Amino acid sequence: MNNEKTVSQTVEKYKDQIKQAIINAVRLTKSCVLFYSDITMELERLIDDGDEYRRVESALWESIDGLKLGDIKTYRIYQDVDASYNDVIVVTFGKELTEKQLYVLQEVAELFDTDFYDRYGEADGVFYDGMPLFKKERTEVYTVMHNLMRKWFGCEWLFDDEGDEEES
């Protein structure tokens, strides 16, 4: 319970930096589907002190699934057992995923862990064993998740590079 309180206090104290890191990551990737590392790289830019960054990042990792910061809500759709920086985080702005949408994204994300993975060879028009060395290399899975979120939420307005940073 004490650790839970410390985590929530840390997130509350750094909510503006966390929110800005999420927004920056969405804008940089032009997607509401992020790898956890996309967020942490931005967070590290916003928090100068290395020890403090590690404390905040640890609290963020503990609380990112279902985290609500103003109109932003985050969902951990996929958790990589080998490397948390490969966790897949979905971000919504002003809306929340329905149970059905969450289920669909989680089903698609399971392809990151499957032992059977084929890729389509455009040159010869057939499927072949495309088992990548790293889960993050399964770009088709990431692309499907991105396009589902784009269809459901249309968050393209966030990708305006000319706009000012959203206020925290």
Neighbour count for residue 16 (Cβ, 10 Å): 13
| Average confidence score pLDDT of the chain | 86
CA gap 35, 80 in Å, rounded = 10
Beta bridge partners of 88: 35, 78
pLDDT at residue 138, as a whole number: 77
Quick one: what percent of the chain has pLDDT higher than 90?
Answer: 60
Candidate ranges 105-109, 126-130, 139-143, 155-159; pick with highest mean pLDDT: 105-109
pLDDT at residue 154 above 90? no
pLDDT at residue 157, as a whole number: 63
Neighbouring residues of 70: CB distance < 8 A, sequence distance ≥ 6 = 19, 168
- The answer to whether 153 and 93 are in contact (CB under 8 A) is yes
pLDDT at residue 98, as a whole number: 96
Domain ranges of the chain: 2-159
Lowest mean pLDDT of 5-9, 40-44, 78-82, 149-153, name the range: 78-82
Give the tens place of pLDDT for each residue, 38-66.
999 999 999 999 999 999 999 999 999 99
CA gap 140, 74 in Å, rounded = 22
**φ and ψ at 159, to 5 degrees?**
-90, 5
CA gap 135, 131 in Å, rounded = 9
Residue 132 CA to its chain's centroid (Å): 21
The sign of the dihedral angle between the CA atoms of 148, 41, 77, 144 is positive
